[in-house]
Amino acid sequence: MKNIAKITAENAAPLFDEKNRPSQLITGEELKTLKGEGVNFETYTMRVGDVLSFPKFEDMVVRKQPVRPGSQTMVFLVACQRERNGKKTNTWFNANSLAKRDANNEPVYPMWYELGNLEARLQKLAEVGAITAKEEISVTVPTFDGNKRVYNDVLKDDGTTVQVAATHQQEHVAVIIPVE
């Protein structure tokens, strides 16, 4: 599949909450600084049936943005073109989502996770040109109450109690695979 035409910083879709969480533009040689990046965070993700198309690696527009004001944890967003219900629009894709792991620390998307870092994942996105969401899967995720992780007391065979992190199934995660 061919790459799409270059999306510039000027014609890319607006970023959510840019006023309160200004992003930093990453282009050209700076794209190589993404090696070693790739925290898990979910937003700007796909819906089943969506097709996201990407430019060549050297033409990618990538922005990093704190997950919340003052945070050192960053989300890396790559400008792309989304086709949804036959309509094409410029949007952003959360490249961090390709490294998502479940509550058991297992990769949700092994092909993408095994690439090892954000630069390699962006290189692969450019190489395949487009990805699609074919189906939904069930993923085991940690349970939170607000920002606090939930733990359950579990009785062991010896009569002692230990705290075990609570988990639940999340049914809305779309499987991301290269377009054939």
Q: What is the pLDDT of residue 172?
A: 67
- In the predicted model, residues of the chain with pLDDT beneath 70 are 35-45, 172-173, 179-180
Question: What is the structure's pLDDT at 171?
Answer: 77
Q: Cβ atoms within 10 A of the Cβ of 132, count? A: 19
Residues 6+ apart with CB under 8 A from 3: 53, 54, 55, 56, 59, 126, 129
The pLDDT of residue 46 is: 81
Which tokens hold the place of 62? 């990538």
Which residue, among 106, 112, 91, 175, has the nearest Cα to 138 in the 3D structure? 175
Q: What is the pLDDT of residue 63?
A: 95
State residue 40's pLDDT score. 42
The contacts of residue 172 (CB under 8 Å, 6+ apart) are 136
Give the CA distances from residue 122 to residues 52, 86, 90, 101, 146, in Å, rounded to whole numbers and listed in that order. 13, 25, 17, 18, 32
Q: What is the pTM of this model?
A: 0.70
